[in-house]
Structure 1
Amino acid sequence: MMRIKLLATPAIIILLFSLGFSLRRHPAHPPIENTSIWQNYEQYKEPAIQHRMVKHADMQPLITKHVSSGLLRSSVIGSSVQGRDIHHLIAGKGKIKVLLWSQMHGDESTATMAIFDIFNFLAAKDDNDRFRQLLKEKLELHFIPMVNPDGAEVWKRRNAMDIDINRDARSLTTPEARLLMKVADDIKPRFGFNLHDQNILYSVGSSAKPATISFLAPAYNHTREMNEVRQDAARLIVLMNHTLQKFIPDQVAKYSDAHEPRGFGDTFQKKGISTVLIESGGYRGDTQKQYIRKLNFYALLSALYAIASNAYENEKVEEYFAIPDNGRSLFNLVIRNAEISNENLRYRTSLGINYSTSVNISERRLNYRGVIEELGDMQNNYGYDEVEASSLVSLPGKIITMTKAEWEKLSLESEAQLLKQGYLYIRFSDQRSPTGPLQNRLLNLINGASTGARPPGLYQYPNFILAPPEGRPKYAVVNGFLVDLSKEIRPLPNTYGY
């Protein structure tokens, strides 16, 4: 009996060792899921930032708050083309250095918002203390939360020299690029996070799902080789993908890894910095990207903890390549199989409508203008909003005439009633009406005589009614926005004056 026990013991040890190794290689879930960080997010969310159009001045009191509390060490490393300070903020005193930079494109602010939420998390004291303490003890976190403050000021991609900073890593023409490069060269981080926003019309592959978050482990050469540096970035991405799938299932994609030698991600990867690109895309109903802000906050904390605990080493690089690529199958609005009458032609087809935007800087508001960008077979395309119109016909909107004073007194309820009767335009009887975006309205203004009578056509501004033959209007399309006339009607982001 003793001999049997002695023989069995090594077998049990080997079995337990193998099981332990297997568990390490295939963790059941990311460590952050053992915390209440997601549930407690509202306690960490920076209340001073409620809008995507974050400006340089918005950050200053927040930076001062965290420097005064002792959480952050701060230095002004230089200034932008127009003289705005660029801040280098440091938290933690660990040996592993991590560099995170955001808003090198001035109109891409989602991660900037999330970074200030992360500062509040690091400053808090609650049941997640063990999690945050590990970050502070193991990591030295370096943040440049707004690389392009001049672009942020006017909500544009490029800097004040009209140069794309993320295509300036090689020539270093811009002061902002030189400053970012200098910080990286000085601190020599082990990991880097390049934080961006992408077009909300990117999809997960060719599916109907928006690519709410897209990741990339940038290539350091044109042959897209995978050395250990790039593999570690890919492992982090696999872990963050696991983290996010619970909240945005099948809405994570992979950005193109075509090598861009002018880009910072590619350049840093070549320098030996395991660099992760995060692109924040679209999520239905989240025009201010506040939910995507929360996703950034959570995914970044998950990745930082994985770095601090070496948990990313357990992830398989092959799973990175299994993440679907970014696709372009989405439109803002798709109307399927609507009947269109155009002169002597009558036919059914589908329409794809997208919005172009303009910026109202003083009011921190985006104005939208719809345009019909596709007409024809759209079986492989999808919309954030969709209508099956196979039983409906498209009709031109009617025009009602009133004085300017009557229009100014017109209530939302009255506009909704006019919309239900098929009116899409108001013409002033006593003067010309204003042109351009109109806020808090449901109807357009019009000065010309024929605009309202046009059938839907390619590259036209979409304003029409959808109704059953001989029936009451069921939907209105106003400036490209869909209004379901059977439901509660709310003001549109903006209508238009023609």
Structure 2
Amino acid sequence: MHKKLLLIPVFLISVLVFGLVRRPNASPIAIESTSIWQKYERYKEAALSSRMFKHSDIMPLLQKHIASGVFHSTVVGKSVQGKTLNLLTIGKGKTKVLLWSQMHGDESTATMALMDIFNFLSASDENDAFRKMLTDNLEINFLPMLNPDGAEAWKRRNGLDIDINRDARLLNTPEARVLTHVADSIKPSFGFNLHDQSTLYAAGATKNQATISFLAPAYNYVKDMNEVRQNATKLIVLMNRTLQKYAPEKVAKYNDAFDPRCFGDTFQGKGISTILIESGGYPNDPEKQYIRKLNFYVILSSLHAIAQKAYESEDLKAYMAIPDNNRSLYDLVIRNAEVTKGNSRFRAHVGINRSQIADLTNRSMSYRGYIEELGDMEKSYGYEEADASALISVPGKIKVMKKADWEQLSLAEELTLAGQGYLFVKFSDQKSPTGPLKNRLLNLSNSSTANMQAIGLGQSANFILSDGKKPVYAVINGFLVDFSKEVKVLSNAYGY
């Protein structure tokens, strides 16, 4: 009898401890019991390996799924330049969901993820039970690449040079009219507005990239929280928990200032629980392939949560605890660099960014590095950082040689020149090309003198950091070269 009595408090303590650890307001993440993350490569659409693709690239992929009979498809309209806008539908459930991507033409990460999701939904394997839950309980509608004209030119706006996501009220663009008509016809319970944002946003005042940022948009200026917006907010809480395992501390919350021109705000006001997903940056992922996988996984997870109504038990306070989206990152930060300006010499932090330059076919990207910030950058961080406290800053020198000799330079020879302080080559027999230079380490120059000062606000990011005897680092076109490590060709050098 005494043994039984002793067991009762032990049992009660166990229940209480389990309850604290397994918070009652935190619904289980169903997707974690599947092999979907581990088997992602099975579903990844191999035809899309970079983010700069066009309407002509995705149409065969859509046709493949339409022909399989798994999806029902409708051409719901055309872009300004006559490209088809296709709605793909799957599922027989009563709860309707609408997902649209790439209403900004140069924001393609989610479109890649949707192609992966199509492959997943068309497959048959050990994850069939997960698929069945989706298709039995949901009708899922996809409108991928809403702005194909912008994608063709790799620009934000459409063929009329209008931002589609600021056209929800006037409906001047055919793409905005299509999206509005589709939403009004389907009357979805949930909507997913899928975007990309700058890679230079952080999750709060930290060095952590805002790899994914969420928003449950406001539907009025006072930012009321009705049931429709609450449902979107609760779903975001669950999505954040899903991502923390794979992108810990790299999830942020977007600003919720109301804008009646935007589709998320407008749809929220129409009674569609709308979730904005912004894909930002992740280290060593310029083509956003890991972020693509995160999109694939978290969208599937959220669809399953909608099918099970698992989001309903989430705590709204957890949404407010997600750190704010904060523009505080740089591609490269040099700490405590020596800066000379006229007769003044001081040490300051240097923030360097690399502007993106699409090639003539809008199929690949190059970069041009420049110095964007100079001074106290205590609350700013770099994807890469270097400490120059014990170093001096030196302008890069120009090596003069014939074009034919430059063409024969190996990486090892370019590295030797950089180690001697040369960051530029000038041709002695002709003018050199300007713009991005692929597969090179050194820049080209048509000037006889490099930058007069090593570091200056707004100037190109090309300088040496030396210990007084030899270079320790070089910054070439905004990329950091560490002479103590193996050096490879840059994404691109630059011709000035």
- Relative to the length of structure 2, the TM-score reads 0.95
Q: Is the 8 A contact 1:154 1:361 kept in 2?
A: no
| Superposition RMSD in Å | 2.2
Distance 1:304 1:150, change over 3 A: same
| CA deviation string 1:133-161 (max 9, x = no partner) | 11111111100001000000011000011
- Paired position in structure 2 for 1:477: 475
- Paired position in structure 1 for 2:141: 142
Structure 1 moving runs of 4+ over 4 Å: 19-24
Q: Is the 8 A contact 2:439 2:490 kept in 1?
A: yes
Q: Is 1:174 aligned to 2:173, yes or no?
A: yes
- SS of the residue corresponding to residue 105 of structure 2 reads coil
| CA deviation string 1:242-273 (max 9, x = no partner) | 00001111110000000010000000000000
| CA deviation string 1:437-467 (max 9, x = no partner) | 1111110111112224432101111100011
Q: Is the 8 A contact 2:337 2:393 kept in 1?
A: yes
Question: Identity rate of aligned residues, in percent?
Answer: 61
Q: Is the 8 A contact 1:399 1:452 kept in 2?
A: no
Letter in 2 for 1:111: A
Distance 1:185 1:346, change over 3 A: same
- Paired position in structure 2 for 1:492: 490
Q: Is 1:316 aligned to 2:315, yes or no?
A: yes
Alpha-carbon distance in 1 for matches of 2:19, 2:407: 72
- Where does the alignment leave 5 or more consecutive residues of structure 1 unmatched? 2-11
- Paired position in structure 1 for 2:187: 188
Alpha-carbon distance in 2 for matches of 1:111, 1:349: 39
Distance 1:124 1:436, change over 3 A: same
Letter in 2 for 1:340: V
Letter in 2 for 1:201: L
Compute the displacement of 1:361 (Å).
4.1
Q: Is 1:401 aligned to 2:400, yes or no?
A: yes
For residues 15-34 of structure 1, the aligned pairs below 5 Å read 25-27=24-26, 29-34=28-33
Compute the displacement of 1:24 (Å).
8.3
Letter in 2 for 1:479: N
Alpha-carbon distance in 1 for matches of 2:362, 2:194: 26
Q: Is the 8 A contact 1:216 1:256 kept in 2?
A: yes
- Paired position in structure 1 for 2:245: 246
Q: Is 1:63 aligned to 2:62, yes or no?
A: yes
Letter in 1 for 2:308: S
Alpha-carbon distance in 2 for matches of 1:400, 1:451: 10
- SS of the residue corresponding to residue 448 of structure 1 reads coil
For residues 380-399 of structure 1, the aligned pairs below 5 Å read 380-399=379-398
Q: Is 1:203 aligned to 2:194, yes or no?
A: no
For residues 273-292 of structure 1, the aligned pairs below 5 Å read 273-292=272-291
Alpha-carbon distance in 2 for matches of 1:382, 1:399: 31
- Paired position in structure 2 for 1:79: 78
| CA deviation string 1:293-349 (max 9, x = no partner) | 000000000100000111111211111111111111111111011123344332211
Q: Is 1:443 aligned to 2:436, yes or no?
A: no
- Paired position in structure 2 for 1:7: none
| CA deviation string 1:53-105 (max 9, x = no partner) | 12100111111111111111111111100010111111111111100000000
Q: Is the 8 A contact 2:398 2:450 kept in 1?
A: no
For residues 67-146 of structure 1, the aligned pairs below 5 Å read 67-146=66-145
- Paired position in structure 2 for 1:270: 269
Distance 1:263 1:434, change over 3 A: same
Alpha-carbon distance in 2 for matches of 1:341, 1:95: 67
Letter in 2 for 1:310: K
Distance 1:138 1:364, change over 3 A: same
Alpha-carbon distance in 1 for matches of 2:470, 2:362: 38
- Paired position in structure 2 for 1:430: 429
Q: Is the 8 A contact 1:155 1:361 kept in 2?
A: no
Alpha-carbon distance in 2 for matches of 1:65, 1:24: 44
Alpha-carbon distance in 2 for matches of 1:269, 1:291: 29
Q: Is the 8 A contact 1:29 1:242 kept in 2?
A: no
| CA deviation string 1:330-376 (max 9, x = no partner) | 11111011123344332211111112122114261122111111111
Compute the displacement of 1:494 (Å).
1.3
- SS of the residue corresponding to residue 451 of structure 1 reads coil
Alpha-carbon distance in 1 for matches of 2:51, 2:362: 12
Alpha-carbon distance in 2 for matches of 1:269, 1:275: 6
Compute the displacement of 1:232 (Å).
0.3
Alpha-carbon distance in 1 for matches of 2:362, 2:258: 39
Letter in 1 for 2:425: I
Q: Is the 8 A contact 2:40 2:293 kept in 1?
A: yes
Q: Is the 8 A contact 1:425 1:452 kept in 2?
A: no
Letter in 1 for 2:321: A
Compute the displacement of 1:21 (Å).
13
Q: Is the 8 A contact 1:103 1:147 kept in 2?
A: yes
Alpha-carbon distance in 2 for matches of 1:69, 1:272: 33
Letter in 2 for 1:298: Y
Compute the displacement of 1:485 (Å).
1.3
* Residues paired across the two proteins, number: 488
| CA deviation string 1:28-61 (max 9, x = no partner) | 6411111111000000100000010121001111
Q: Is the 8 A contact 2:154 2:362 kept in 1?
A: no
Letter in 1 for 2:484: S
Alpha-carbon distance in 2 for matches of 1:36, 1:328: 35
- SS of the residue corresponding to residue 474 of structure 1 reads strand
- Relative to the length of structure 1, the TM-score reads 0.94
Alpha-carbon distance in 1 for matches of 2:345, 2:236: 51
Bigger shift: 183-192 or 487-496? 487-496
Compute the displacement of 1:205 (Å).
1.2
Q: Is the 8 A contact 1:465 1:477 kept in 2?
A: yes
- Paired position in structure 2 for 1:259: 258
Letter in 1 for 2:60: P
Distance 1:484 1:178, change over 3 A: same
- Paired position in structure 2 for 1:5: none
For residues 367-378 of structure 1, the aligned pairs below 5 Å read 367-378=366-377
